[in-house]
Structure 1
C-alpha cells in the first residue's frame, strides 16, 4: 500500500496506517530529507528478519535501531559496555 505523505492533510491517516502496519510486524518505507528509510518494530523478531531480507543482509550486518532513551537498549541488547551506554 502506498500512502501520500507530501500533503500535510494526509499525514494523520498515513501515520496511523504506518503505526498499524508496524504493530502487525510489517515493514514500512519512510521518506527522509535525503533517502528512504526502511523501518520495523525492533522488538518483533519476524519484522527485523523482514527488514534484513528486504535489504539483502543477514544477522552479521544488522540494521541500526533508533531508540527513545538509553533504558530501551536493555530490551534489545545484552552486555552493553559502559562507554556504549554512556
Structure 2
C-alpha cells in the first residue's frame, strides 16, 4: 500500500516561525492556545472555497477576516 503525503505536516514544516513559534502572515506571533469554532456546513464550504481560491489556509483567511473586522470597527489590539 502506498502512503499519501501528509499535506498538514508539510504545511507545518513550511509555516513561518519566529523564535520557534508560529507566526501570522504579518510576522506577529500567534497565541499559544488555539480557538476552535464549529461552523454551519454551508459557511464551512464557503470559507474553504474562498481560502482555496486565494491559495491560503482556512486559518490564515479567518485570521485576515477577523483582523479586518476589528480594524473596521476601531477595536484596539491589546
TM-score by structure 2 length?
0.26
Tell which has more relative contact order, 1 or 2 (C-alpha 8 A, sep 6+).
Answer: 1
TM-score by structure 1 length?
0.24
